[in-house]
Amino acid sequence: MASEKINPENYEELAKKLKKRMKTSEKLFIACYNCRANDEKAYIQGRVLEDRGIKKSSKEDSVWENFVRVYKRMGSREVPFALVEVTIAGQSVRVHTDEEGFFSLEFPLEKPLDPDHGPHKYQVTLVDSPVTFKEVPEFSGQIFIPPKDADFGVISDVDDTIMYTGATSITKMVWVTMTNNSLTRVAFKGVSRFYRALVKGPRDKGPNPFFYVSSGPWNLFYLIYDFIELNKIPMGPVQLRDFGRDDAKNSASSHGSHKKRIIEDIFSTYPWLNFILIGDTGQYDAFIYYDLAKAHPDRILAVYLRDARDKDQNKRVQPVIDLANSEGIHMLKVKNSLEAAQHAVKMGFMEEKRLAKIEKEMTRQRNADQRFDDAWDDQDDD
């Protein structure tokens, strides 16, 4: 939980600095991230920021408009040491934001939330801040709870796993990040149908829960949220990274340690649930997932790594893939979603009838790097 103890001297000094930087009439925005819960606790995260007037994306947005929007997101102005009140099902807890505007807490639930009627909402209101702002409306986020009869959970990477970012190349990644929005980002072929088939599971019933873990910054949460929603990919808790806090405070922090720590936290939240892990060969997923499989040999059912088509990276990760399989860990490098789905059918993770729909979706999308066309308006969610 974020610290409730605020040093009065630091608070007054901070208030003076903020008054110089922000007008007292500035609007405030409370980012409420997708969170997870079990029967005892809800793990809530969010951030208090200056509202920079970021407009909703459209397909017609120019490269410059996308650049300005992302620039505003990345250049967020945080409100440290603000006091917020988090409310879930009529129960409230207050917590301060830290020096970078983040708040996080393990919210003790008096009564378990019903997974059959989720996702549930939590509300956040501003109680106090170092500077005076106009009245701030109530903001809300989503809480996801897996049903006790779920067959398994799925933990998925984001960059170059569900959406193209070019993460194997810094230049490509920066260009794609800065010049695209949630409507113009490209989803990989078949991802939506494959993930929805895993939600249904082997009994075609579901729902099996999804979790998204990325080393991307929290500033891109709403871009990722909109992308998942627009592409009919199963929604779930999204865990990103605070570069300033993770890197400045802990120099040992890295892509791998961040992702591994978050997945370990998910494992401990749901000790009764086994998982399928999905990532790509472009960065360190193979190594992270191998370590997790060794540490939790009975918890990981399979690992699917989308082939990022980077020769150097593939040479680097292939030995760990071979090692994993020699040790009985189902770790596959797959060319596309259909190849992963075919293995999932053999393993009993999903029904075979779903393969035809995945193949159909891949055919409609033509190429993995083309923009979505009107065919994406199909309303069949199964």
Domain assignments of the chain as residue spans, ordered by start: 8-144, 153-377
- Residues 328-362 have pLDDT tens digits of 999 999 999 999 999 999 999 999 999 999 998 88
Query: Which pLDDT score is estimated for 58?
Result: 45
Judge if the upstream peptide bond of residue 119 is cis by omega within 30 degrees of 0: yes
Q: Which amino acid is at 342?
A: Q
**Is residue 176 over pLDDT 60?**
no
Which range (95-104, 132-141, 170-179, 253-262) has the least confidence? 170-179
pLDDT band at 147 (very low <50, low <70, confident <90, very high): very high
Q: Which architecture, in CATH terms, is 153-377?
A: 3-Layer(aba) Sandwich (3.40)
Going along 109-170, which residue ranges are E strands?
A: 120-128, 139-144, 153-156
The average pLDDT across 111-118 equals 91
The topology under which CATH files domain 8-144 is Immunoglobulin-like (2.60.40)
pTM of the model: 0.79
- Residues 298-322 have pLDDT tens digits of 999 999 999 887 778 888 999 999 9
Are 255 and 215 in contact by the 8 Å Cβ rule? The answer is: yes
Are 258 and 243 in contact by the 8 Å Cβ rule? The answer is: no
Are 5 and 29 in contact by the 8 Å Cβ rule? The answer is: no
228 or 325, higher pLDDT: 325
- Residues 68-79 have pLDDT tens digits of 444 344 445 788
374 or 162, higher pLDDT: 162
Cα-based angle 285, 291, 295 (whole degrees, multiple of 5): 140
